[in-house]
A and B are shown apart, each in its own frame.
Chain A
């Protein structure tokens, strides 16, 4: 079945560091990937929609200059949290949709980001 790989699974770094998170679809092509953020005890909130070969679409309140998204190929999207601060600490999850087979979105395992 469809598999989405997300890396790294856990990051701890100092304030001011930039962190890159990768999301790969392993056995299907994903023209669209989605990035979500989940704070403790809360549900997943969509941050942005990543489109292969074009600019990402950001949800209201999400700073595009802080959360850089690149979707350079049909199997890889990256989210870079630039100059991260403690309030950016969260669980970041990507998902991808295999449109060819009309399948539901499948999620990566998520990245737990802790900014000290």
Chain B
């Protein structure tokens, strides 16, 4: 059974801080790992990672995958209050459906 564990479960920081969110996984026939941001509605896509060691970057957000150690991190630099959300990590295995972690609730205080 595919499994995704995220840590920490929640995090409170002040604007301008840098945060690192963690995701470890077990999956049969790994295809990809995805990061999503969820506010009040459905998740919005951030990154899809398929290869180890290649950093994906979008503005203040970046992510990297380690397929040997079976984990990924999501970094957010210079956090803003608009970054407050639940960040979800998910893996895609042989069956193509997403298996989600429990998410990290990030709160950025002004």
Q: Report B86-110 CB contacts with A as 1/0, cut-off 8 Å.
A: 0010001001111111110000000
Q: Does A7 contact B (CB under 8 A)?
A: no
Interface-facing stretch out of A12-20, A63-71, A74-82, A105-113? A105-113
Q: A107 contacts B43, CB within 8 Å?
A: yes
Interface size on A, as a range, is: 20 to 34
A110 with B98, Cβ < 8 A, contacts A43-B88, A43-B103 known: no
**Which residues on A sit within 8 Å (CB–CB) of B101?**
43
* Closest residue of A by beta carbon distance from B44: A107
In angstroms, Cα B99 to Cα A46, docked, is 8
How many residues of B are in contact with the other chain, CB < 8 A? 20
**Which residues on A sit within 8 Å (CB–CB) of B97?**
34, 46, 49
**Which residues on A sit within 8 Å (CB–CB) of B42?**
6, 93, 107-110
Q: B100 contacts A34, CB within 8 Å?
A: no
Binding site for A on B (CB under 8 A): 32, 34, 36, 41-45, 48, 88, 92, 95-103
Binding site for B on A (CB under 8 A): 6, 32, 34, 36, 42-46, 49, 93, 95, 97, 104-110
